[in-house]
C-alpha cells in the first residue's frame, strides 16, 4: 500500500484483513453462543437481545453511510416500517409471525426504494434532511390518526394504531416450547438473524459492489468515469440495508410483542448514530464495538437516570470531534503503525 | 506605503507541499525594495505553490520567510496579509456575488481609515479606469480581462509593501494580455515591489529586474532577463522554446 | 372570506416564524457549509431564557428578549469553540456529515438539560400581547401582528448587517471564497464564530416568538426547525432571500391545506411539494453550486 493511504486508510485494510475478520467473528460468535448457558438473569438476556437489535440497525446504517456514502436520517423509519408491517399483518390478517416478519422486511425494502427514488439524486445533506423529514411526517401521521378503524371493547382503534401502537399480535412461540427459558429461544432467533445480516454485509462489501462503494466514496468523478452508476449502486444498497433493517424491526416488534410511534423518536436515532460514531463509521466491526461500549455506558448511566440523554448527546459530540474514525479506526491505526 | 530601503521579501530554503511529497525543494530568493522579480517555469512545477506558501495558504515544511525583516514563520494568512503582503491569486478568486466596488472594498479590508481608502481607490481607478465604469457590476458577470483587472485592483487596494501576482496572463486573449502587462508596466514605473509569476519569459523580460527559472520545485537559473533570453538551450529544455 | 383572512393570518404569522428560523440555519450553511442540527434546541433556549429573566427574575420583557438573543449567541459561540472549530480543522471532506452528527448530539444534550432545569410540564412564557382586532367578521389577534413585526425587524436588521457593515462583508466574502477572504486579511475563524453567534441570537429571538404562540417545552424548536430545513432545501441551502420567500410561500400553502384538509395534512402535503420541487431542481429553486469551504 502506498503512503497516500495514510489519509484514506479504511477500505484497503479491511479488505486484506479477511482473516482477521474471520477470527473476530469466530470469537464473538463463540461468546454469543456461550452467553445463554452462562447468564441466568432474564434482564441480562433481554439486554443482550436489545443490543443485537441496536447493533443490527447500526450495521445497516453504517453500510449505507460508512460504505455507500448515503447519509440517511430515516433509518429508524425503515425499522419502524418493518415493525409496523409485521405487527399489522399479524394483527389484522393473522399471518404467521415469521411470514409477517419476512413480509415486513420486503415492505420496508419497497418503502426505502421509494424514498431512495425521491432523494438519492440529491447531494448528501439534502438526502439527510429529506429522509429526516419523511420519517417525521410518518410519525406525525401515525400519532395524529384519530379515525376509528374498529372497536376493541369500548375503545376505538385506529388503523395505524395511533398514539398507542400495537400489542399482543403474536410471538415467536418460544413460551410454548421452552416455558421459563423462552427468552433464550428468542435470543437464538435474533442472534441467528443478526449473524445472517452480518454475513450478507460482509459478502457484499468484499464483492464487486463493495469495490464500487469504495470507488464512489473515494473519488466519485473517477468512479463515474469508469462506468459505475452512482444512482443504481446507491439505490441497491438503500434497498438491501432496508431489508435487514426492516427485518430487525419485525423481530423487535415480535420480541417485545409491541410496537408504537415512540420508535420514531430522535433518541433512538441518536443511539444508532452514537453506536456508529463511537465504534467507527466505515469500519466493519465499528457498529458491533460501538453497541457493546454504549450498552455498557448506558447501563452505567442508569444510576444517574435522567441525565442519561445529556450524557449520550455529549458522548456523540465528543466522539465525532476526538475519534473521527471511532474506536475501531483508532485501534487499527495503532495496530498498523505498530506493524510497519 | 512604508519606505524601508533594501530587501523587502526574503525566502530561505523553502520546502512546501500539499498532502503528498514536497512540491518545492529548497527555494531561496529575495525581492528587493522597488524591484520586480519574476519566477518563470513550466506549469505544474510549483510556481503557484511558491506564492501560496509565502502568503500562508499552503503549509511550509521547512525554511524561513521574512517580510521587511519580520519573520513570517507560523503566521496565518490573515496575519501575513496584515503585515503588508498582497497576493493576487491564480484565477483571480474574486468574490463572485459582490460588485466590483465591494471587491475593491474587500481588498482594503484591513485598513479602517476612510481617507486612505479614498486615496487608494482613486489610484486604482486611475490605473484601471475600466473598474470605475463597472464599479456597480456583479463580479461574476464581468469578462475575463475585467475580472483580472479587479483581481489586480483588489490586490493594490491593500496598500501592501509587496505585491505578488500569479500568472496575470492565464486564460486571456493575446490583446487582453498586452493590456494587463501594460498595467504592470505602469506599476513598475511607480516603483512598486512585485513578485511576479509567469509561464512565458518573453512576456515579462522587459518588466523584470531579476528572473528565476523554477523547474520541478527548484530554482535552476537566476539572473538578469536579457541573459535568460540569450540562453536558448535553457528556454528550449524548460519552456519548449 | 373569513376563511381567507384566517388563512392569510396564519400563513403570514407562521411564515414569519419559519423565515426567522430559516435564515439562522441558512446563514450558517451559506457561510461555512454547516447544517446546525442544534438550531431547534437554540430556539428552546431562547424561549426559556425569556421565562427565566422576565418571570423568575421579574425584569422587563424587552430586556428578557435581549437576554434570549444573548443566550442564543452565547450558545453559538460555545458550540463553535467546543465542536465546530476542531471539526473544521480536522474533518476535511467529512465536515458536512460530522458536524451534523455532532450537533444532533449537542441538540439532545441541550434539550435534556433544559428538561432537567425547568421540568417537563409546559410553562407559559411572559412575552405576549393580548387582545385582537376585527376585519369584517374575523378576529385577528394582536399577538400575530407583533410576531410578524418583530420578525420583519429582525430580518431587516440582519440584512443591513450583512450587506452594509464591514463584518457583514467579511461574512459574505468568506462564504463566496474562503481563500480569497484569507488573502484579504479576514480572520476566517473569527468570522465563523460571528456567524454562529448571529445565528444563535436570531434563533433565541425566534424561540421567544414561537413559544408565545405555543408554550415552553424543551422540544418547542423541533417543529420550526423541521419546517426550516424544508424551506432551506426548497430555496437552495444558503440562499437568504430565497429562504425568506420560501418560508412565506410554503407557510401560506400549509395554512391553506390545513384549513382545507385538516391540520394533520399540512406538513405531509408540504413535504410532497418539496420532493416534487427537488426532483425538478435538485439544488432547490434558487440554489447555487456548492460553496467552497476547504
Q: Are residues C274 and A133, on separate chains, in Cβ contact within 8 Å?
A: yes
Give the residue from A173, A187, A256 showing the smallest Cα distance to A35: A187
Residue A309 makes CB contacts below 8 A (sequence gap 6+) with: A267, C108, C109, C111, C112
User: Is-contact C274 C233, C-beta < 8 A?
Assistant: yes
Say which residue, C194 or B229, is predicted with more confidence: C194
Q: Which phi and psi (to 5°) does residue B88 adopt? A: -95, 100
Residue A15: predicted pLDDT: 45
Strands B85-88 and B70-71: unpaired
C-alpha–C-alpha distance, residues A289 and A24, integer Å: 11
DSSP per residue over B11-78, as a string?
EEEEEEESSSSEEEEEEEEEEETT-EEEEE--TTSSHHHHHHHHTTSS-EEEEEEEETTEE-TT--HH
Does any CB of chain A come closer than 8 Å to the CB of residue C285? Answer: no
Q: What is the pLDDT along chain B (241 residues), one digit of tens a residue?
A: 444 456 789 999 999 988 788 899 999 999 999 999 999 988 888 899 999 999 999 988 899 999 988 899 889 999 999 999 999 999 889 999 999 999 999 999 998 899 999 999 999 999 999 999 999 999 999 999 999 999 999 999 998 899 999 999 998 999 999 999 999 999 999 999 999 999 888 888 889 999 999 988 899 889 888 888 788 777 777 665 4
Element (DSSP H or E) covering residue C216: none
Residue A339: predicted pLDDT: 59
Q: Which of A14-28, A302-316, B206-220 has the lowest mean pLDDT?
A: A14-28
Chain B residue at shortest CA distance from C186? B78
Does any CB of chain A come closer than 8 Å to the CB of residue C290? Answer: yes
C-alpha–C-alpha distance, residues A21 and A15, integer Å: 9
C-alpha–C-alpha distance, residues B219 and B14, integer Å: 11
Taking contacts as CB-CB distances below 8 angstroms, the residues of chain A near C99 are 320
Does any CB of chain C come closer than 8 Å to the CB of residue A114? Answer: no
Taking contacts as CB-CB distances below 8 angstroms, the residues of chain C near A270 are 104-105, 108
Q: Which phi and psi (to 5°) does residue B145 adopt? A: -65, -40
Q: Is B166 exposed, middle or buried (0-12, 13-18, 19+ CB in 10 A)?
A: buried
Strands (E), chain B: 7-17, 22-32, 36-40, 60-67, 70-71, 85-88, 162-166, 194-198, 210-215, 218-223
pLDDT at C294 over 50: no
* Nearest-CA distance B91 → chain C (Å): 11
Say which residue, A121 or B53, is predicted with more confidence: B53
Kindly compute the dihedral angle of the four CA atoms of residues B192, B193, B198, B203, in this order, to the nearest 10 degrees: 40
C-alpha–C-alpha distance, residues A265 and A254, integer Å: 19
Does any CB of chain C come closer than 8 Å to the CB of residue B153? Answer: no
pLDDT at A302 over 90: no
pLDDT tens-digit series, residues A39-54: 778 888 888 888 999 9
User: Is-contact B129 C206, C-beta < 8 A?
Assistant: no
**Beta bridge pairs of residue A276:** none
C-alpha–C-alpha distance, residues C150 and C13, integer Å: 11
Q: Are residues C96 and A267, on separate chains, in Cβ contact within 8 Å?
A: no
Arithmetic mean of pLDDT over chain B: 89
pLDDT at A298 over 90: no
Q: Are residues C179 and B93, on separate chains, in Cβ contact within 8 Å?
A: yes
* Nearest-CA distance B38 → chain A (Å): 34
Chains that touch A (3 or more CB pairs under 8 A): B, C
Q: Residue range C234-260: average pLDDT?
A: 86
* Nearest-CA distance A18 → chain C (Å): 26
User: Is-contact A61 A241, C-beta < 8 A?
Assistant: yes
Say which residue, A122 or C52, is predicted with more confidence: C52
Residue C68: predicted pLDDT: 95
Chain A residue at shortest CA distance from B19? A4
Chains that touch C (3 or more CB pairs under 8 A): A, B
Share of chain A above pLDDT 90, in %: 10
User: Which one of A122, A267, A274 has the shortest CB-CB distance to C278?
Assistant: A122
Arithmetic mean of pLDDT over chain C: 88
pLDDT at C97 over 60: yes
Chain A residue at shortest CA distance from C263? A144
pLDDT tens-digit series, residues B89-124: 998 899 999 999 999 999 999 988 999 999 999 999
Give the residue from C157, C254, C212, C194 showing the smallest Cα distance to C73: C194
Residue B189: predicted pLDDT: 92
Continuous H helices in chain C: 2-32, 39-50, 61-79, 85-90, 95-118, 142-164, 166-176, 178-183, 188-213, 222-235, 240-261, 266-280
pLDDT at A11 over 90: no
Q: Residue range C89-109: average pLDDT?
A: 86
Interior angle at CA A143, CA A139 and CA A146, nearest 5? 140
pLDDT tens-digit series, residues B175-197: 999 999 999 999 999 999 999 99
Does any CB of chain A come closer than 8 Å to the CB of residue C110? Answer: yes
C-alpha–C-alpha distance, residues B168 and B178, integer Å: 10
Does any CB of chain C come closer than 8 Å to the CB of residue B95? Answer: yes
Q: Are residues A273 and C101, on separate chains, in Cβ contact within 8 Å?
A: yes
Residue C116 makes CB contacts below 8 A (sequence gap 6+) with: A306, A307, A310
Say which residue, A87 or A1, is predicted with more confidence: A87
Does any CB of chain A come closer than 8 Å to the CB of residue C165? Answer: no
Residue C202: predicted pLDDT: 96
Q: Are residues B109 and C176, on separate chains, in Cβ contact within 8 Å?
A: no
Element (DSSP H or E) covering residue C217: none
Taking contacts as CB-CB distances below 8 angstroms, the residues of chain C near A309 are 108-109, 111-112
Label residue A93 by pLDDT band (50, 70, 90). confident
Taking contacts as CB-CB distances below 8 angstroms, the residues of chain C near B51 are none
Residue A5: predicted pLDDT: 34
Does any CB of chain B come closer than 8 Å to the CB of residue C170? Answer: yes
Say which residue, A165 or A315, is predicted with more confidence: A315
Q: Are residues B81 and C177, on separate chains, in Cβ contact within 8 Å?
A: no
Taking contacts as CB-CB distances below 8 angstroms, the residues of chain B near C172 are 95, 97-98
Residue A16: predicted pLDDT: 52
User: Which one of C96, C113, C232 has the shortest CB-CB distance to A310?
Assistant: C113
* Nearest-CA distance A310 → chain C (Å): 4
Taking contacts as CB-CB distances below 8 angstroms, the residues of chain B near A7 are 19
Taking contacts as CB-CB distances below 8 angstroms, the residues of chain B near A2 are none
pLDDT at A6 over 60: no
Q: Are residues B57 and C181, on separate chains, in Cβ contact within 8 Å?
A: no
Residue to test with chain A: of C100, C266, C270, most A Cβ within 10 A: C100
Say which residue, A148 or A88, is predicted with more confidence: A88
Residues, chain C, total? 294
pLDDT at A157 over 80: no
User: Is-contact C106 A313, C-beta < 8 A?
Assistant: yes
Q: Are residues B110 and C187, on separate chains, in Cβ contact within 8 Å?
A: no
Cell of C35: 447544517
Residue to test with chain A: of C91, C92, C93, C101, most A Cβ within 10 A: C101
Q: Are residues B106 and C181, on separate chains, in Cβ contact within 8 Å?
A: yes
Q: Residue range C29-39: average pLDDT?
A: 90
Residue C147: predicted pLDDT: 93
Q: Are residues B57 and C188, on separate chains, in Cβ contact within 8 Å?
A: no
Taking contacts as CB-CB distances below 8 angstroms, the residues of chain A near C290 are 123
User: Is-contact A330 A323, C-beta < 8 A?
Assistant: yes
* Nearest-CA distance A17 → chain B (Å): 26
The listed range with the strongest mean pLDDT (A292-301, B52-61, C122-131) is B52-61
Label residue A70 by pLDDT band (50, 70, 90). confident
Residue A82 makes CB contacts below 8 A (sequence gap 6+) with: A101, A104, A105, A107, A108, A245, A246, A247, A248, A249, A250, A253
Q: Which fold has domain A12-262?
A: ABC transporter involved in vitamin B12 uptake, BtuC (1.10.3470)
Give the residue from C131, C208, C204, C149 showing the smallest Cα distance to C12: C149
Residue A259: predicted pLDDT: 87
User: Which one of A137, A269, A324 has the shortest CB-CB distance to C90?
Assistant: A324
Q: Taking the domains of chain A in order of start, what are their residue ranges?
A: 12-262, 265-340
Taking contacts as CB-CB distances below 8 angstroms, the residues of chain A near B19 are 4, 7
* Nearest-CA distance C172 → chain B (Å): 8
Residue B238: predicted pLDDT: 65
The listed range with the strongest mean pLDDT (A19-33, A245-259, C256-270) is A245-259
C-alpha–C-alpha distance, residues A57 and A247, integer Å: 10
Taking contacts as CB-CB distances below 8 angstroms, the residues of chain A near C233 are 126, 129-130
Q: Are residues B109 and C169, on separate chains, in Cβ contact within 8 Å?
A: yes
Residue A75: predicted pLDDT: 87
C-alpha–C-alpha distance, residues B240 and B42, integer Å: 9
Q: Residue range C6-25: average pLDDT?
A: 91
Residue C240: predicted pLDDT: 84
Taking contacts as CB-CB distances below 8 angstroms, the residues of chain B near C291 are none
C-alpha–C-alpha distance, residues A13 and A18, integer Å: 9
Taking contacts as CB-CB distances below 8 angstroms, the residues of chain C near A317 are 82-83, 102-103, 105-106, 109
C-alpha–C-alpha distance, residues A38 and A77, integer Å: 35
Residue to test with chain A: of C22, C30, C98, C104, most A Cβ within 10 A: C104
User: Is-contact A197 A210, C-beta < 8 A?
Assistant: no
Chain A residue at shortest CA distance from C99? A320
The listed range with the strongest mean pLDDT (A145-159, B15-29, C149-163, C268-282) is C149-163
User: Is-contact C28 C79, C-beta < 8 A?
Assistant: no
Residue C290 makes CB contacts below 8 A (sequence gap 6+) with: A123
Taking contacts as CB-CB distances below 8 angstroms, the residues of chain B near A4 are 19-20
Domains and CATH numbers, chain B: 7-239 (3.40.50.300)
Among left, alpha and beta (phi > 0; psi -120 to 50; other), residue C215 is beta
Chain B residue at shortest CA distance from A7? B19
Taking contacts as CB-CB distances below 8 angstroms, the residues of chain C near A71 are 97, 100
Amino acid at each position: 500500500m502506498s503512503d497516500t493511504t495514510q489519509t484514506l486508510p479504511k477500505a484497503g485494510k479491511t479488505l486484506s484483513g479477511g482473516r482477521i475478520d474471520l477470527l473476530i467473528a469466530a470469537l464473538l460468535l463463540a461468546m454469543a453462543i456461550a452467553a445463554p448457558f452462562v447468564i441466568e438473569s432474564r434482564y441480562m438476556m433481554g439486554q443482550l437481545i436489545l443490543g443485537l437489535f441496536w447493533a443490527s440497525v447500526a450495521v445497516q446504517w453504517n453500510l449505507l453511510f460508512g460504505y455507500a456514502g448515503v447519509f440517511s436520517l430515516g433509518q429508524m423509519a425503515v425499522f419502524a416500517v418493518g415493525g409496523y408491517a409485521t405487527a399489522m399483518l399479524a394483527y389484522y390478517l393473522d399471518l404467521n409471525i415469521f411470514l409477517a416478519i419476512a413480509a415486513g422486511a420486503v415492505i420496508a425494502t419497497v418503502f426505502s426504494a421509494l424514498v431512495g427514488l425521491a432523494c438519492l439524486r440529491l447531494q448528501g445533506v439534502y438526502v439527510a434532511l429529506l429522509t429526516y423529514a419523511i420519517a417525521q411526517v410518518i410519525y406525525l401521521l401515525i400519532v395524529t390518526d384519530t379515525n376509528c378503524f374498529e372497536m376493541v371493547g369500548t375503545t376505538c382503534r385506529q388503523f395505524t394504531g395511533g398514539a398507542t401502537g400495537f400489542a399482543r399480535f403474536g410471538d415467536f412461540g418460544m413460551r410454548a416450547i421452552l416455558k421459563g427459558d423462552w427468552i433464550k429461544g428468542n435470543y437464538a432467533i435474533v442472534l441467528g438473524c443478526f449473524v445472517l445480516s452480518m454475513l450478507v454485509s460482509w459478502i457484499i462489501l468484499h464483492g464487486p459492489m463493495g469495490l464500487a462503494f469504495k470507488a464512489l466514496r473515494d473519488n466519485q468523478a473517477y468512479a463515474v468515469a469508469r462506468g459505475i452508476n452512482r444512482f443504481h449502486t446507491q439505490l441497491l444498497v438503500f434497498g438491501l440495508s432496508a431489508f435487514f433493517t426492516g427485518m430487525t424491526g419485525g423481530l423487535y416488534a415480535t420480541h417485545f410483542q409491541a410496537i408504537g410511534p415512540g420508535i420514531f423518536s430522535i433518541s433512538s436515532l441518536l443511539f444508532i448514530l452514537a453506536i456508529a460514531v463511537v465504534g467507527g463509521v466505515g469500519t466493519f466491526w465499528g457498529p458491533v464495538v460501538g453497541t457493546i461500549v454504549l450498552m455498557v455506558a448506558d447501563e452505567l448511566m442508569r444510576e444517574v437516570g435522567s441525565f442519561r440523554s445529556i450524557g449520550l448527546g455529549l458522548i456523540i459530540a465528543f466522539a465525532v470531534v476526538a475519534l473521527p474514525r471511532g474506536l475501531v479506526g483508532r485501534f487499527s491505526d495503532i495496530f498498523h503503525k505498530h506493524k510497519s | 506605503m512604508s519606505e524601508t530601503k533594501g530587501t523587502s521579501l526574503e525566502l530561505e530554503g523553502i520546502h512546501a507541499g500539499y498532502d503528498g511529497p514536497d512540491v518545492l525543494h529548497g527555494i531561496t530568493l529575495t525581492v528587493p525594495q522597488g524591484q520586480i522579480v519574476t519566477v518563470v517555469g513550466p506549469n505544474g512545477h510549483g510556481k503557484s505553490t511558491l506564492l501560496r506558501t509565502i502568503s500562508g495558504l499552503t503549509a511550509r515544511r521547512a525554511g524561513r520567510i521574512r517580510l521587511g525583516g519580520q519573520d513570517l514563520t507560523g503566521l496565518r494568512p490573515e496575519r501575513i496579509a496584515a503585515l503588508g503582503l498582497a497576493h493576487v491569486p491564480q484565477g483571480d478568486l474574486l468574490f463572485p456575488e459582490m460588485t466590483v466596488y465591494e471587491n475593491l472594498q474587500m481588498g482594503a479590508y484591513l485598513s479602517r481609515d476612510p481617507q486612505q481608502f479614498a486615496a487608494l481607490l482613486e489610484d486604482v481607478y486611475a490605473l484601471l479606469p475600466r473598474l470605475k465604469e463597472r464599479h456597480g457590476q456583479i463580479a461574476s458577470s464581468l469578462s475575463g480581462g475585467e475580472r483580472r483587472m479587479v483581481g489586480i485592483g483588489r490586490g493594490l487596494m491593500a496598500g501592501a509593501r509587496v505585491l505578488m501576482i500569479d500568472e496575470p496572463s492565464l486564460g486571456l486573449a493575446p490583446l487582453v494580455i498586452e493590456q494587463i502587462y501594460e498595467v504592470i508596466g505602469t506599476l513598475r514605473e511607480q516603483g512598486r515591489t512585485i513578485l511576479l509569476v509567469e509561464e512565458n519569459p518573453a512576456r515579462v523580460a522587459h518588466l523584470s529586474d531579476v528572473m528565476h527559472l523554477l523547474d520541478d520545485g527548484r530554482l535552476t537559473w537566476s539572473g538578469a532577463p536579457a541573459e535568460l533570453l540569450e540562453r536558448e538551450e535553457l528556454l528550449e529544455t524548460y519552456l519548449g522554446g | 372570506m373569513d376563511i381567507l383572512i384566517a388563512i392569510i393570518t396564519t400563513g403570514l404569522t407562521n411564515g414569519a416564524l419559519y423565515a426567522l428560523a430559516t435564515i439562522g440555519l441558512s446563514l450558517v450553511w451559506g457561510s461555512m457549509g454547516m447544517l446546525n442540527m442544534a438550531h431547534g434546541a437554540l430556539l428552546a433556549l431562547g424561549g426559556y431564557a425569556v421565562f427565566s429573566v422576565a418571570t423568575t427574575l421579574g425584569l422587563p420583557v424587552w430586556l428578557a428578549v435581549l437576554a434570549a438573543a444573548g443566550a442564543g449567541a452565547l450558545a453559538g459561540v460555545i458550540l463553535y469553540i467546543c465542536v465546530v472549530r476542531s471539526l473544521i480543522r480536522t474533518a476535511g471532506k467529512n465536515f458536512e456529515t460530522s458536524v451534523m452528527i455532532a450537533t444532533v448530539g449537542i441538540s439532545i444534550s441541550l434539550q435534556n438539560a433544559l428538561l432537567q432545569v425547568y421540568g417537563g410540564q409546559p410553562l407559559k412564557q411572559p412575552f405576549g400581547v393580548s387582545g385582537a382586532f376585527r376585519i369584517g367578521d374575523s378576529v385577528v389577534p394582536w399577538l400575530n401582528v407583533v410576531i410578524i413585526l418583530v420578525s420583519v425587524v429582525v430580518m431587516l436588521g440582519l440584512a443591513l448587517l450583512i450587506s452594509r457593515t464591514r463584518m457583514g462583508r467579511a461574512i459574505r466574502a468568506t462564504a463566496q471564497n474562503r481563500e480569497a477572504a484569507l488573502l484579504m486579511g479576514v480572520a476566517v475563524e473569527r468570522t465563523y464564530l460571528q456567524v454562529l453567534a448571529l445565528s444563535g441570537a436570531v434563533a433565541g429571538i425566534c424561540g421567544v416568538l414561537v413559544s408565545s404562540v405555543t408554550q415552553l417545552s424543551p422540544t418547542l424548536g423541533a417543529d420550526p426547525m423541521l419546517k426550516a430545513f424544508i424551506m432551506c432545501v426548497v430555496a437552495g441551502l444558503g440562499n437568504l432571500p430565497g429562504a425568506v420567500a420560501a418560508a412565506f410561500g410554503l407557510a401560506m400553502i400549509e395554512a391553506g391545506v390545513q384549513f382545507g384538509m385538516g391540520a394533520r395534512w399540512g406538513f405531509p402535503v408540504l413535504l410532497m411539494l418539496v420532493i416534487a420541487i427537488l426532483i425538478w431542481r435538485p439544488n432547490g429553486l434558487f440554489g447555487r453550486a456548492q460553496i467552497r469551504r476547504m
